[in-house]
Structure 1
């Protein structure tokens, strides 16, 4: 059975849930903040006490260092040390001990590490194994303070009482080694003084006064406690664990909780290293955690008590608030149920000037609107029925019109001379017109519904069908054109994709045209023109030579005869030039034109081209300005063909420029290409004529001079030559007067140079 709660219960439960989450979050954040505060205070106390303990530990060593350093600079001490006066040095050590009573070890050592004097008596010339701190002080010629562990044997030889009968024992000593430097800078000896920490199990009283019984400052020798700040009665046995020793032996400070006897302590332990950097002991500060735990427990009890009282009070407030707020809402719910049953005259009485009153007013307005809309809906329903009948009639009319259009489209596809194949989104054939049937020699019922792969197997025209079978759905809105040869037939295949209303791939349309006979006719035409041109060029060359010979050597000709011969010679040259252009375009189309590619200088080619056209330009009073410099990089091309391109462009510029104008030849480097441009000042070519520029047998009429003679092959030949050089040729018009023809030639590269 599913429980159903009223709005009052839901509101009460929601308020209680919010209060519970709020108090839980507050309790969690308060405890977390309290713990963090206690942790911070504890860490600060540990750091402060450790700093003070370290200063007390090193304070006496610093006093001894400065006292001894002040004494050893005396000339008397240096002289007695140089004379190896052991008795005097012993008395001197005793006087120093009077000033430094806390120093238990006082020894004077010569540079050969022999004891000259000791505090407890003269042990002159006693050879000892000098500690590393002495050797370091003598070698560095400066005072060294360190904590050392000396063997009982060394302590005995140094004259310290109580160690001769315990040679296997060790002592932890706060050591000061002060070298004695002579006036000449040489080392006369070394004074070794030290505070034997094992003799003082109780640390200085200042630590007890500052720290109290809650804080213990401990000094250990290789993990075993040798001194503490607590009174002897309050101490318990204490040895560092292997885990702590492992951290200290690496020279790192240990922080963490440890148990000392029956008490738990937060501890910070600082390693003590000797002069060689070896671990010899530690200085630690431990603070009892009992006070922290008690304070935390007391705070938690106070917080929980406050939270409990707050929840009880909040529950009472939530109960009364939910009861007051849900009364008008229940009335609204009852009125809504009656409206649902069809009573649109139901209204709610509400006098509150708050959100509930606004809700009651809006409810009444809604009921009034529903009543009005119910009447409007009833009136509109009849209108919709009438419109539905009209729509059905329009659908019938459009369906009939669509059938007519489909019939027309089918008639067009049937009458097309090109084969048409249409596929769906799965590349299955859905249309196969009669021209395609004749081309593939198949009847429609064997093809419709078959996949493109199956059609390929049936016909053997796989090369034709590959453009369709290779198309993928994501290549929608893309088409292509392809020329292929299948079974001796030359076919032009055009493909286009179909898309649905969402732009997704919906199929392919492929049109196939057999151009075998057209290409045969075009090839026959080209061969005929080439043959005729070759046959005409030979006699024309002979005629040109004969006319040239007559003009140059016949002095007896009259002016009229010479004029007629000149006209014949000029027309012969024109015919030879036209035939050469026809032969060039024929050779390019047939692939018979040979190119000799090599590195060439574009500046030299420009000079040759200008010289070749110079006489023609002078005849029309046109100046050619060549600004192509020698600084341009070498290009890779056929020099003769490139000169032919520039000469043709210059000839056209001179031909179509008004007399007295200037033709400019320029070149510049753009990336990996050199761009050569020929600019004239003639009338701008019309938009309608620009499509003819680079096509064969196309000429442009000039409004000032009418139609100018020529074959219309010059720019077509230039285009073919430039494209064989992997460049491009293009036209640019000026704003008012002038035309610019430009072409690009690639700069020679490393692979070209090696080739």
Structure 2
């Protein structure tokens, strides 16, 4: 900017000096020529009077001689020309013929009765000449007295003036350039100050201000700039604060949120949405929603919302990146100052996969419970009706029927107890007790409880328990229930003369408990579903041995409450082994 101003200033100054110089040259030249013209006209009039008074023969040598003397005195070339352009006398002679002067412009004007003037190159004297022609009447005819002087003097004066002007231009430009540069530099200082301040602000240093103390327009500009910077800093702070709060709000919302513009390109994505769809916001912003969420149903629903301008909610099933059931709530984004204008759409997503699974599990559970309760109740009801219809009179039939009713009643009570136990475990996951449990002591207690049951069935219950097992923390009753269920299950499905072995030891930072039997075993295809509620490998045999179908489901939930794992190794007709792995450190 400084260079531009200096260049313009320099050009304007140069043009001004040049115009002044050339105008001065032109004025001096014109003034000098006017003075010469007046001088020549005066001398021509004197010659006119001389010719009229003397009544000379204009073609004589005497007259020629007089003209030459007179021309020398007035330092001018004198030419006398008749009406036909013939030269009668010439003070500057060259050898040879003097051509006719009738076509000379100054002569033509003089023939018209006026004083002729001309500045032109003379081939006779080989110089630029000033000519003045004066018409006079002599000897009864019109003749022209023409005086001429060369312009060597004006040329010399012009050259001298040109040198002076050139020197003035150079000297003036140097002095003006120095003064102008300092002046422009002084003017540019506040502008540079404002420019530097704006650059620093553009780089993020919003606290920078322009320090200009000038009292002119530039000072006003600096004041306005500083005021604008103050307002800008306040606005950016407000926007930053709002943006921080908005980001914090988006981050704290556990539901995924995605916003799109009118072209269905993503403009916003919160962390919950990033996690749900396994993407990063920077990779998704600006892309079409179909590129991120490959679900035509969602795309069509968004299109319908844009067309109908109606908020809605839908439920969709997704396969990618994982199989999920999502509930989508859509709301149009409208301008606050123009509610009729829509600029996009925001979708709030609720992952209801687990809810739908639980609903299905609940439905299946209710159906299974109804079925399991209905079977013994139907049996009891049937035998009661039989007894009421007269069978009660037969003592043997009555006792047999009552025994069956008693068995079914016990089975019904066990089923209800297991259902209540499972419900209690499921509903207490968030408030698990952290009681001190000595695994060695509890295992010994369970061994003593289950030994008589095994003995009654002629099954040998073997134990191999490390007496120095580390203490764990959790629900002591659940821990005991887990062991009882596993050992009871092993005894039920092990034939007479079989064996059940209980083993417990510490490995690394885990407590390992194993219950192994020599029973009927479990087919491989049934192992993955073994811990489902009411799932039975052999339904007829399970009912026969009194199983409710909930024992292993209870075991699995208790293991999960201890943050543990359970594994099953089984081979049909050879036996099964249930291995429980409980972390010691994490349980504390």
Report which structure shows greater RCO (CA 8 Å, sep ≥6): 2
Q: TM-score, normalised by structure 2?
A: 0.37
Q: TM-score, normalised by structure 1?
A: 0.30
Larger Rg: 2
